[in-house]
């Protein structure tokens, strides 16, 4: 009898693990956990796009459990562990620390990321092939970095010194900065890196960067985006323009950016999640998705304040 009970327990555990994978739910109803790193317009738009795609597909048959980590990576870990314990069918990680937390929390439950700059960097994958080979897939928010770098000499041909400003705790910011620095140095510009550890350092670091730079470049960086007003209040009075890695941050503190739609990449991530949930698609074999288009955009107010006239092919941020 004890042996039979042991067999039944093992069988129950196996079935439980199987349910955490990418098998379609028998009743067609799904619970999706969302871990978003911090509240700001770009990440909010990605979450809305993700939910829109799944709601259009499943209607009331999909339930969302949403958590926001308020910019704290440790909280992302707590959230993702909680979602695993609740037995959700899929986890969406919005921003790199959220994705990393989900990856650490489970190798069974499918994970779909969005607003991730580089999955190879985020997941420490050495031989990148376009798919993760694990329980993880998703969409990236990376606009072509060489084109972002080219905007600086295009808009500021007299500039010589570029300050590269980002949060040192965000590995994808480091990744972007290194590529942009290489491109700018090839163009003959001098770059100096200025990093802040968290939001408490932002004002002082930006002030130091403005003091020794003709123009600043701030990559797609969640800490910077959440401190947009602080950055603008330092850089604009100093008369130093900022090229931003994404549109919503540019709206807060930049003059121009190479823009993608965060709603679009969230929506594509939602479509990928639907394919996993409904058809049992293997996340590890699904190539990372990207925004369908990039557009040169400018912040009309900041450009006017700094006396900058963007070229005709730049579109004003609405």
208 belongs to a structural domain = yes
Average pLDDT, rounded, for the chain = 92
Instruction: Note the pLDDT tens digit of each residue in 224-259.
Output: 999 999 999 999 999 999 999 999 899 999 999 998
Distance between CA atoms of residues 19 and 277, nearest Å: 11
DSSP codes of every residue in 136-202: EEEEE-PPPHHHHHHHHHHH-TT--EEEEEEETT-HHHHHHHHHHHHHHHHTT-EEEEEEESSGGGH
Packing angle, helices 202-211 and 228-238, rounded to 10 = 20
Contacts of 317 (CB under 8 A, 6+ apart): 247, 250, 251, 259, 297, 298, 299, 300
**Burial of 84: CB neighbours in 10 Å, binned 0-12, 13-18, 19+:** middle
What is the average pLDDT across 64-90?
97
pLDDT at 3 over 90: no
Instruction: Give the pLDDT score at 23.
Output: 59
State which residues form the domain around 223: 145-259+295-316
Output the pLDDT for position 258: 95
Residues 273 and 308 in one domain: no
On the question of pLDDT at 4 being above 60, the answer is no
pLDDT band (50, 70, 90) for residue 24: low
Decide if pLDDT at 22 tops 70.
no
One domain for residues 267 and 126? yes
- The average pLDDT across 152-163 equals 98
Q: Within this chain, do residues 122 and 177 fall inside the same structural domain, yes or no?
A: no
pLDDT higher than 50, residue 12: no
The answer to whether residues 186 and 236 belong to one domain is yes
Q: CATH no. for residue 55?
A: 3.40.50.2300
- 204-213 mean pLDDT: 98
pLDDT band at 28 (very low <50, low <70, confident <90, very high): confident
Domain membership of residue 128 (yes or no) is yes
Examine the pLDDT at 17 and tell me if it is beyond 50. Answer: no
Please report the pLDDT score of residue 27 as a whole number.
74
Mean pLDDT of 35-48: 95
User: 149 or 172, which is more confident?
Assistant: 149
123 and 177 share one domain: no
Q: How far apart are CA 295 and CA 247, in angstroms?
A: 10
pLDDT in tens, 116-132: 989 999 999 999 999 99
Q: What total of structural domains would you count in the chain?
A: 2
């Amino acid at each position: 009898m004890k042996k039979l009970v042991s067999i039944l327990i093992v069988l129950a555990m196996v079935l439980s693990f199987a349910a955490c994978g990418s098998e379609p739910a028998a009743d067609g109803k799904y619970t999706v956990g969302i871990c978003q790193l911090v509240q700001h317009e770009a990440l909010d738009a990605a979450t809305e796009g993700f939910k829109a795609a799944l709601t259009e597909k499943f209607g009331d048959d999909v339930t969302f459990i949403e958590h926001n980590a308020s910019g704290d990576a440790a909280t992302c870990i707590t959230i993702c562990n909680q979602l695993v314990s609740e037995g959700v069918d899929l986890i969406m990680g919005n921003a790199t620390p959220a994705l990393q937390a989900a990856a650490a929390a489970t190798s069974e439950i499918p994970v779909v990321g969005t607003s991730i700059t580089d999955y190879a960097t985020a997941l420490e994958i050495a031989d990148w092939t376009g798919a993760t080979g694990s329980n993880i897939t998703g969409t990236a928010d990376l606009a072509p970095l060489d084109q972002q770098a080219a905007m600086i000499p295009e808009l500021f041909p007299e500039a010589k010194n570029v300050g590269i400003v980002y949060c040192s705790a965000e590995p994808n910011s480091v990744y972007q900065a290194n590529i942009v620095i290489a491109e700018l140095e090839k163009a003959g510009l001098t770059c100096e890196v200025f990093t802040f550890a968290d939001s408490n350092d932002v004002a002082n670091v930006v002030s130091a960067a403005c003091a020794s730079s003709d123009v600043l470049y701030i990559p797609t960086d969640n800490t910077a985006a959440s401190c947009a007003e602080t950055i603008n209040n330092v850089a604009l009075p100093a008369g130093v323009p900022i090229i931003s890695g994404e549109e919503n941050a540019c709206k807060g503190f930049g003059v121009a950016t190479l823009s993608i739609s965060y709603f679009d990449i969230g929506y594509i991530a939602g479509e990928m999640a639907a394919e996993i949930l409904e058809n049992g698609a293997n996340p590890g074999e699904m190539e990372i998705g990207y925004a369908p288009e990039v557009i040169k955009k400018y912040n009309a107010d900041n450009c006017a304040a700094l006396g900058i006239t963007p070229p005709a092919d730049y579109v004003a941020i609405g």
